[in-house]
Amino acid sequence: MQNHHLPQEILDYIADLLHDQPETLKRCCLVSRSWVPRTRKHLFADIRLRSVDDLRSWKKTFPDVGNSPAYHTRSLFIGCSSVVVAEDAEEGGWIRAFSRISSLDVDNGVWYLNTPAISLLTPFHNFSPTLKSLRMCPIAFPCPQLFDLVLSSPLLEDLTLTGHDDSFGNEDESHGLQTVLPSTSPPLTGSLDLNIFGGMGNTVRQLLDLPNGLHFRSLAFSWHCEADLPWTTQLVELCSDTLECLDIMCRLPSAFVSIPHRS
Amino acid sequence: MSGYHVSPAQCVRFYSAPELRHTHLLFLVPLGAASIDLSKARRIKDVVFRPGSQNVEWITMALQTIVPEHRDFRQITIRVSYYLTLFEINGNGRRVIGEAIYRQWSVLDRLLVQLWDSRSIRPRVVCTKPGGKVQNAETRVGCLLPEMARRGMVVPD
């Protein structure tokens, strides 16, 4: 098909209108080479690597990291982070091909907390300067490496952390893990969602140390111990100039037992 | 028969009645007299509370910190878990769930209605029914929040 009568801007506009119709976009790719770049932008905007099979399939389809469509990806979900880390280490940083994502969602799927957080987070350090939204689940706290990642993301707005803090109540363990703070930090003007078994104290302490302060518009917390309440109060107060939405789930340990009477 | 056993770690509430044919034990960690202060968060629009036990005093205390300067406040949502409704009222909720808890819900009921009437902050109590196992959860919660239920503000998920 000859399309030289249509200016590229029009072709791009057509592809943009089809952004939520992947099957149609795939057909567009077959029309002409000139249609490919714009359709790729939409086809690869949201990549979900849910399993090892997904990961291997991606790497088999796009063996050349430099020319892979990962460049177009804006939202990346990784459901097999331990495998990603291993393969990234083996092949010299293929994950960095996703250098323009704005949303990163790392979910191990199971509460496999024996994997050191430092190894899970290593490939992501400094890897996307455009990162705006970060979700990590589950993760073992306290985790200074996580805050290295936060600090290396200058545009970060939304932060969702789910995990377990084994050092709750053990002040000594949390000391000495603090990262070296730069003079600036991400804006953090979006949402903060903390769901940390064992208590969110250590994580909040690290957030409070960020040099630019906290300006979240939305706060969501799951309380797992009484100490989470004063931390919530402190965060609400610190974000009082910007806070618009607050969501609190009280998950303090409780149990309901019903014992039938003998007839 | 009903009562409390209090230990440093947890509070155990129990009740037993012949007509229920069950003895119910509820183990929970009390929050004490602490809650959050919303008074400085003047731009707040929406709050959601998800109580994990029948103790709702902390919600009331938080809502009592709402001040006239909260001009953008639009909605208060309370999401009640299905297991909190695992009781049979039979017209005697006060005795079944205990006087102290019953009073907490009554105070919350009045406060939510007051905020709606005086400040137009819309309250909504959502009852979750996962898997449809619990029938009429909103009716049971409605017994604890009668005025809210009468105004149709206790709804199923």
CA distance B125 to B127: 7
Structure tokens at A65: 């990291």
| Ordered alpha helix ranges (H), A50-193 | 52-61, 81-90, 117-121, 144-151, 171-174
Residue B23 lies in a domain: no
CA-angle at A23, arms to A18 and A24, nearest 5° = 45
Q: Could A236 and B24 be called an inter-chain contact, meaning their C-beta atoms sit closer than 8 Å?
A: no
Query: Of residues A6 and B28, which shows the higher confidence score?
Result: A6
Question: Which residues does A207 contact at the CB level (< 8 Å), separation at least 6?
Answer: A192, A214, A235
Query: Of residues B52 and A194, which shows the higher confidence score?
Result: A194
- Decide if A250 touches B, using CB distance below 8 A: yes
- Upper half-sphere CA count for residue A128 (Cβ side, 13 Å): 27
Is this structure's pTM higher than 0.90? Answer: no
List of chain A residues whose C-beta atoms are within 8 Å of the C-beta of residue B46: 244-246
Residue B21 lies in a domain: no
List of chain A residues whose C-beta atoms are within 8 Å of the C-beta of residue B54: none
Tell whether the model's pLDDT for residue A237 goes beyond 80: yes
Residue B73 lies in a domain: yes
pLDDT digits (tens, 9 = 90+) for A18-36: 999 999 999 988 888 888 8
The radius of gyration computed from the CA coordinates of chain B, to the nearest angstrom, equals 16
Q: Which helix (H) or strand (E) holds A239?
A: none
Residue B138 lies in a domain: yes
For chain A, domain boundaries: 10-43, 102-250
Residue B100 lies in a domain: yes
pLDDT digits (tens, 9 = 90+) for A76-132: 999 877 777 777 777 777 788 898 999 999 887 665 554 555 566 777 877 788 999
List of chain A residues whose C-beta atoms are within 8 Å of the C-beta of residue B35: 229
Query: The domain containing residue B79 runs over which residues?
Result: 32-156
Domain count, chain B: 1
pLDDT digits (tens, 9 = 90+) for A129-180: 899 999 988 877 777 778 888 888 889 999 999 988 877 555 544 444 445 5
